[in-house]
Amino acid sequence: MALSRSARITLLLVIDVFFFFVELIVGYAVGSLALVADSFHMLNDVISLIVALYAIKMTASSATDSRYSYGWHRAEILAALINGVFLLALCFSIFLEAIERFVSTPEISSPKLVVVVGSFGLASNIIGLFLIHDHAHSHTHSHAKTPTLADDLLPGPLSTEQTPLLQEHHETGHGHGHSRSDGSMNMRALVLHVIGDALGNIGVISTGLVIWLTQWSFKYYFDPVISLVITAIIFSSALPLVRSASFILLQGVPPTISLDSVRDSILKVDGVHSVHELHIWQLSESKVIASVHVRTSRNHDFMPIAVKIREALHHHGIHSGTIQPEYLCPGTEVSRSTSIVACEAECMS
C-alpha cells in the first residue's frame, strides 16, 4: 500500500531530525564547516517539513472559517515561499562562514568520521528523494477522475436566471489549459531541499576524503570551497521558487494565459459591447480565477451570453469566474473609456 503524502513527509522528518543532531555534534567535534553547514541545512529542512505538514493539514481540512472565504488553498503556496526564503537565508549564512574559513583555516581533527557521517547522510537523502519525488511523479502520470465544481458548462441552452451555469465534471487531464497535475509547489520545494542536502553530503564526503587521503598543503581550503559551490547550487534553485510563489501571492496573471487573448475572446461573444475590469489570477497552482465586467444591451437575454463567456474562459483554462453585467440604455454609444467611467460611477453610488 502506497504511503500518503503526509506519511512520506513524516518519515522524512524523523530521518532529518536524527541526522541533524548527528551532523551537528560531529561537525563541531571535528571542526568541519561543511558538516556544520549541512546540519543547519538539515534543521532548515526539519522546519520546512513541519510547515509542509501543517499546510497539507490546513488544505485538507474540512472545517470552514468565515475569515477565509477561499479556504486554505494558498497554504501550500505560503509554505513554499517560507521554504525558499529559509534556503536563501541559509545560503547567506554559509557564504559568510566560508569566507571566514578562507581567512582562518582550522584543521579537521577526524576526516574519516566526516566521511562516515556524510555517507550515512547521503544515504538518508537518497531515501528521502525517492519518498518525495516518487509521490510527485505518481501525480504527474495519474489521470484522476476527481469531481470538481465550476469546470464544465451545461450542454443545453439556459432560459432562466435560476438555471445553474455550471455542473460537476470529472477531470480527464485533456483539453486546453486544464489544471496541471505535476505535484504541488510545496512538494517541489521539498524535493529541492532533499537535493540540496544530498549535494551537501557529497561535498562533505569529498572534503573528508581530500583531507584524509592527500598531503596537499592547501587541502583545508577544500572545505570552504565546497561549501560555496553547494551554496551557489542551492541559491539557483531557491530563487526561482521564491519568485514563482511570490508571483502567485501577488495575484499576477498566470504566464500560460494572455490577458489580451481572453479579452478578445469575450469581445467576440455575440451581445457583448465592451469589456473592462478584467482580472485573472491564481488561487493556487491548479486553480485560476477571473472576474470581468461586460457591457451588454437590455434587449439581449444575459444568461446565454454568460454561458458563452464562461465557455471562452474555460477555453483559456479558467474554470472559476465572476461575470458582472452592465446594461446599456437604448441608443447609448459604447467605448472603453465611457464603460470604465460608468462602472466607477455605479460602484460609488
Q: Indicate the DSSP class of residue 182.
A: S
In this prediction, residue 16 carries a pLDDT of: 86
In this prediction, residue 164 carries a pLDDT of: 43
pLDDT band, residue 59 (cuts 50/70/90): low
Q: Can you spell out the DSSP letters for 16-68? A: HHHHHHHHHHHHHHHT-HHHHHHHHHHHHHHHHHHHHHHHHHHHH-----TT-
pLDDT band, residue 216 (cuts 50/70/90): confident
pLDDT band, residue 333 (cuts 50/70/90): low
pLDDT tens figures, 140-160: 444 443 333 333 333 333 333
Place of cell 528521502: 128
pLDDT band, residue 6 (cuts 50/70/90): confident
305 vs 193 pLDDT, higher one = 305
242-to-87, 95, 142, 238, 251 alpha-carbon distances in Å: 10, 19, 27, 6, 14
6 vs 213 pLDDT, higher one = 213
> Which H helix or E strand runs over 245?
helix 222-249
Domains and CATH numbers, the chain: 5-142+181-249 (1.20.1510.10), 259-348 (3.30.70.1350)
Query: What number is the average pLDDT over the span 292-321?
Result: 91
Distance CA 74, CA 130 (A): 26
Buried residues in 108-119 as b, exposed as e (16+ CB within 10 A): bebbebbbebbe
Q: Which one-letter amino acid corresponds to residue 180?
A: R
Query: What number is the average pLDDT over the span 182-209?
Result: 74
Query: What number is the average pLDDT over the span 212-217?
Result: 85
Q: Can you spell out the DSSP letters for 256-302? A: TS-HHHHHHHHHTSTTEEEEEEEEEEESSSS-EEEEEEEEEETTS-H
Place of cell 561543511: 34
In this prediction, residue 336 carries a pLDDT of: 44
Q: State how far Cα 71 lies from the chain centre.
A: 17
pLDDT tens figures, 249-278: 999 999 989 999 999 999 999 989 999 999
For the cut 50, the answer to whether the pLDDT of residue 60 exceeds it is yes
In this prediction, residue 344 carries a pLDDT of: 46
Distance CA 47, CA 264 (A): 46
Query: What number is the average pLDDT over the span 276-300?
Result: 89
